[in-house]
Amino acid sequence: MVMSATASGKKVGVVMTMGALHEGHVSLVEQCTGQVDVTVVTIFVNPTQFLPGEDFEKYPRDLDGDLDSISGLPVDFVFAPTAQEMYGESFSTTIQPPDVGKPLEGSHRPGHYEGVCTVVFKLLQAVPASVAYFGHKDYQQYLVIKKMAADLDLDSKIEVCPTVREPDGLAMSSRNRYLSESERKQALAISAALLAAKKSVADGCDDVDAIAKGIREQLVAAGISKIDYAAVVHAETLEEIASIDESSVALVAAYVGDTRLIDNMAL
């Protein structure tokens, strides 16, 4: 069906998700439906991007709820394959992520982006879309997928859409469902620390170490002490920088209770 839409010259867009849809996903779907003729949403909790000991088993799965969340939108197809349908019995070919996938998430979750690249490539084989939409909250993922698409000559344009936040600033994430009431409050320190960093930069600070230290200190002050990274790096390469300018981004990955949250802000 999608193939015939493509063949008849219609512009196909895809929003790839792991389900547990929230307003962030809905905004991706809205952006997609506003820009293409045929919108496809994929829902697949991809086992290969979870490391042993991560939350693959408990990751929220609610297909009916997900379908309800997008029922008011002009979505043409939902593709929700099983792991068997995606990988079969003896799957063994994977895609090595590009260099931009090596730091940050890449070093803390080795193998994660290999799983992401492989499943995104395979989903684009099933859904040959001319545009694929991803959220800015998973900023490194967006850079990794964009580079993979360029390096492997994929026909799909990779679009990034703004992070959707709760009114108090918390970046929307399917994993927010794991947070208790008190953890939910604690988690606010992440977006607050990033905002404070942005303000310091706007006020004239260009010191990378001072800004990164400031973020870390605010997290610790809020009781968030297990911090995978609080980094200030180049927004395109994610490489270390000597001083902050308009092409810098701050990224955080930290545990609130047992829940690992990520967020980022352009500085």
Q: Minimal distance in Å, beta carbon 75 to ligand PAF?
A: 16
CB 113 within 8 A of CB 141: yes
| Token pair for 168 | 């108090």
- The residues of the shown chain that bind ligand PAF, judged by CB under 6 A, are 16-18, 46, 49, 116, 119-120, 138, 141
Q: Which is nearer to ligand PAF, 19 or 214 (CB)?
A: 19
Query: How, if at all, do strands 12-17 and 38-43 pair?
Result: parallel
* Residue 138 CB, nearest approach to ligand PAF (Å): 5
Secondary structure of residue 13 in the 3-state scheme: strand
Show the tokens assigned to 234.
């180049």
Positions marked catalytic: 25
Sheet holding 157-161, edge to edge: 77-79, 38-43, 12-17, 131-135, 157-161
Smallest gap, in angstroms, from Cβ of residue 115 to ligand PAF?
7
Min dist CB 46 to ligand PAF, Å, is 4
Distance CA 108, CA 22 (A): 26
Nearer to ligand PAF, 118 or 218 (CB): 118
Beta carbon nearer to ligand PAF, 139 or 248: 139
Radius of gyration of the chain (CA): 19
Please name the amino acid found at residue 201. Answer: V
Task: Give dist(CA 257, CA 185) in Å, integer.
Answer: 12
